[in-house]
Structure 1
Amino acid sequence: MATTWGAAFFMLVASCVCSTVFHRDQQTWFEGVFLSSMCPINVSASTLYGIMFDAGSTGTRIHVYTFVQKIPGQLPILEGEIFESVKPGLSAFVDQPKQGAETVQGLLEVAKDSIPRSHWKRTPVVLKATAGLRLLPEQKAQALLFEVREIFKRSPFLVPDDSVSIMDGSYEGILAWVTVNFLTGQLHGHSQETVGTLDLGGASTQITFLPQFEKTLEQTPQGYLTSFEMFNSTYKLYTHSYLGFGLKAARLATLGALETEGTDGHTFRSACLPRWLEAEWIFGGVKYQYGGNREGEMGFEPCYTEVLRVVQGKLHQPDEVQKSSFYAFSYYYDRAVDTDMIDYETGGVLKVEDFERKAREVCDNLENFTSGSPFLCMDLSYITALLKDGFGFADSTILQLSKKVNNIETGWALGATFHLLQSLGISH
């Protein structure tokens, strides 16, 4: 049942099937994620389409959804999804905004090929950018968004107000929490037994959970708690997004690249990399030269010392997380798959100490490195430090690594759908 409703809800937001009456009694945290003006009025076609762009720090993705509304007023039936992506992300075109927008234009061709011409004018197209653009200077980020808007305006699709924008980091954590807890059945009825969520992107990371102890509420810094109502229940969440603590941003911090003005002619070295390595890496439109310590230390212990400096004392540590249940996804999931700790299709259950064990195994065998990402030792060590010394998890804390729950992606879009439906008076 959760799969059917989850898929249908997701399709509703992707296709902006909206009520013409907008009910809102008070300002809520999700205002600005979806606006009432985003919803086309009097959409009556039985077959509907929606185009959603996810502009992340490492790539831009397009989802083209098709569904059928068999009975007016009832949930539509998902018929299919077409998905394509391009790399790098928009932030890589920080000084070439027109060129960056052209990558979106290319993906729009996928939508034109997938949607009948007769439906183009009533099919909404929306792009939400995340941490990659939040890290850029405001003027440069807006220049990129402006060029994307121009692409949208020239497209044959329905372009809502605020169709291109940067999503606040806190929304990602909250919406992912809603998604996971709905799909796992925790939000049905009045249960307050929920699971927390951990999301690790390229530029930022989020932690979200429902506190069970008054002590947590009393000791939480201002701005980390958000209240909202859903399914006749009120939830007060602990949630925070740490910009600059995503996996790829952490690589730069570990290498010391963030502390150096100008990168030309400078090679950044680390004990987390194979000693013989000499390579270059482009992130956020900047090229970095990096390599291993030719004469210095190498392996887990010196590597962990480096990554520890990135997180130690910089993140809030609520004691409650040590005994809470959490779902973890994005780069937590990817690195666990890369090292055969979990299956790509089904995911798996790990303890925090499993990441440290694998980090030691990889880092202490760097001399034998032959293939895969040269950053694997650094990434696993950083994940270990982030969980233990950043958030304060215990070695024994159990994490459910998932890419999908009930065959629905564990992203922020489904959570946004629930709040959109509730704000429109569609979901009760």
Structure 2
Amino acid sequence: MNEMSPQASLLPAVVLSLVLVVWVLTGLTHAQPKASVLDFSASLGNLLPSLSRPANSSRIFYGVMFDAGSTGTRIHVYTFIQKDPEELPVLDNEMFHSIKPGLSAYADTPEMGGYTVRQLLKVAKKTVPRLEWKRTPLVLKATAGLRLLPSEKAQALLEQVQDVFDESPFFVPDDSVSIMNGTNEGILAWVTVNFLTGHLYAETRKTVGILDLGGGSTQITFLPKSKKTIGSSPDDYIARIDMLNSTYELYTHSYLGNGLMAARLAALGALGAEGLEWRVFKSSCLPKKFREEWSFGGLTYIVSGIPDGYVGYKLCYQEVLKVVKGIVHQPYELKDTSVFYAFSYYFDRAVDAGLIDRTQGGMLEVRDFKKRAKEVCNKMSKYHLISPFLCMDMTYITCLLKDGFGFKENTVLQLTKKVNNVETSWALGATFNHFQNLKIYR
């Protein structure tokens, strides 16, 4: 989730299956009868406001999706090509850009939040041809940052964004600005990753699980192999979706307050605390001589190490354990599941700790996080310049994976920011969904 510079990536021959477009509102159920499969015979071009165009010519469509996260706002501009109305379109290109901080940082100045979105819209205007603006859908979905805010402050931010959208030259669908349900966030990411890796087309149904660690929340989604996993899980942890003539019964949950930044606050005892202007929140996960102001979600905290206390991995682990113990559910099976793709702060902190390369990513076992967490915490001075929070963050990730979700130490994680040159997030899946919802404009 670190800030990135603009970049475009060509994605030849990545087929966008319209069967994937529709499941969030129609195919996603919790402990409900199997949803019916809809008719997806309509071409993508028929789902959008029409512009005159020569017969038999290729049609190019664009979609603009804003991911308003707790630590930053990101824009994804997707380009789709449909050469024949009888054939499925192709995902051709993604333009991605992000800025910090997130919308929630402007809880008391919503106009500034709207300004950041207006600035990011410049990326869309540069990417989408002017003649296509009127038929290019513009959507923003906010995640944990706004879910953690008081409802009136979150609503004020959404209204500012809506005003910016309404003033823009793009097509603004109904419900174009909203706070996304945490469960949908996890499932959308699962669909996106498995679509891009080709697992949804495999007859073996050997899919990959996803782990997304944001600033305010964290998600886990995978396809269980054991019926005991489904039977022993709370009903709202199981979601059934229909796609490609198959029904997938997924284990999925979003933990609000267990994202990396919120977990820092919880470990420090600062989450929901009062007297922030004079209180100092101390931790053995921080360097002894460290003391500074740190902001998240529009609030500023004074945090420090313990000058005359002890530091190290064991003490830090006990501090972060309270953030996950008894809160995060452990699925019955995790040792026999397929490879998990882990992204967002899992990726960023692995890079910061020197476990993987920022450009290439890489495969790690859970034990690799544990080993490096011990090294970082027991030699804080060495890693202080990289980040004074690195010990706390690496220990929290280790604790979340082991004592939270219950992963085995040899569980393999694929750390990545992109799959087939597309950002690993829920944004592409959400774009699919909004295209399908636009059928009312045919």
Query: Would the TM-score normalized by the shorter structure come out above 0.5?
Result: yes
Pair 96,398 (structure 1): closer, same or farther in 2 beyond 3 Å? same
Unmatched segments (≥5 aa) in structure 1: 14-21
Task: Name 2:8's counterpart in structure 1.
Answer: none
Residue 195 of structure 2 aligns to a residue in which SS?
helix
- Residues 39 and 160, structure 1, Cα contact 8 Å, conserved in 2: no
1:358 is the counterpart of 2:372: yes
Amino acid in the other structure paired with 2:49: I
- Residue equivalent to 2:207: 194
> Deviation of residue 28 (structure 1)?
3.9
- In structure 2, do the counterparts of structure 1 residues 309 and 211 end up closer, same or farther at CA, with 3 Å as the change threshold? same
- Give the conservation status (yes or no) of the 8 Å contact 1:278–1:289: yes
**TM-score, normalised by the number of residues in structure 2:** 0.85
**Cα distance in 2 between the residues matched to 1:414 and 1:116:** 20
Matched, 1:72 2:85: yes
Amino acid at match of 2:319: E
Q: Which residue of 2 aligns with 1:17?
A: none
User: Aligned to 1:414, which of 425, 428, 431?
Assistant: 428
Show CA shifts across 1:322-376 (max 9, x none): 3323221111111111112112222211111110100000000013444111100
1:75-114 alignment runs, 5 A limit:
75-77=88-90, 80-114=93-127
Map of 1:87-166 to 2, 5 A cutoff?
Answer: 87-166=100-179
* Paired residue secondary structure (1:223): helix
Cα deviations by residue, 1:4-46 (Å, 9 ceiling, x for unpaired): 4536469x97xxxxxxxx9999664499xxxx9x953335653
* Matches of 1:241 and 1:26, distance apart in 2: 20
- Once residues 184 and 68 of structure 1 are traced to their aligned partners in structure 2, the CA distance between those partners, rounded to angstroms, is 20
2:279–2:302 CA contact under 8 A, matched in 1: yes
Cα 1:252–1:44, aligned 2, differ >3 Å: closer, same or farther?
farther
Q: Which amino acid aligns with 1:392?
A: G
Hey, what does 2:225 align to over in structure 1? 212
Q: Which amino acid aligns with 2:227?
A: E
Deviations 1:174-218 (A, max 9, x none): 111122222333211442322211111110001111111121121
Query: Please, which moves more after superposition, 138-147 or 395-404?
Result: 395-404
1:263 to 1:328, Cα distance in 2 relative to 1, 3 A: same
Superposition map of 1:132-281 within 5 A: 132-258=145-271, 260-281=273-294
Amino acid at match of 2:299: V
Structure 1 length-normalised TM = 0.88
Aligned-pair distance for 1:390? 0.7
Matched, 1:371 2:385: yes
Aligned-CA RMSD value = 2.8
1:302 to 296, 308, 315: 315
Among 40, 50, 54, the residue aligned to 2:48: 40
Aligned pairs for 1:17-36 (under 5 A) are 28-29=28-29
1:349 has 2:363 as partner: yes
Residue 72 of structure 1: how far off its partner (Å): 3.4
Name the CA shift for 1:122/1:268 in 2 (closer, same or farther; >3 Å).
same
CA distance in 1, matches of 2:160, 2:169: 16
> Does the aligned pair in 1 maintain the 2:328–2:405 contact within 8 Å?
yes
Q: Which of residues 369, 385, 392 in structure 1 aligns to 2:399?
A: 385
Q: 1:343 to 1:368 in 2, by over 3 A?
A: closer
CA distance in 2, matches of 1:202, 1:414: 20
User: For structure 2, which runs of at least 5 residues remain unmatched after alignment?
Assistant: 1-10, 36-43, 54-58
How many residues of Structure 1 are paired with residues of Structure 2 in the alignment? 409
Distance 1:230 1:146, change over 3 A: same
Cα distance change on mapping 1:372 and 1:9 into 2, 3 Å? farther
Pick from 281, 294, 299 the counterpart of residue 286 of structure 1: 299
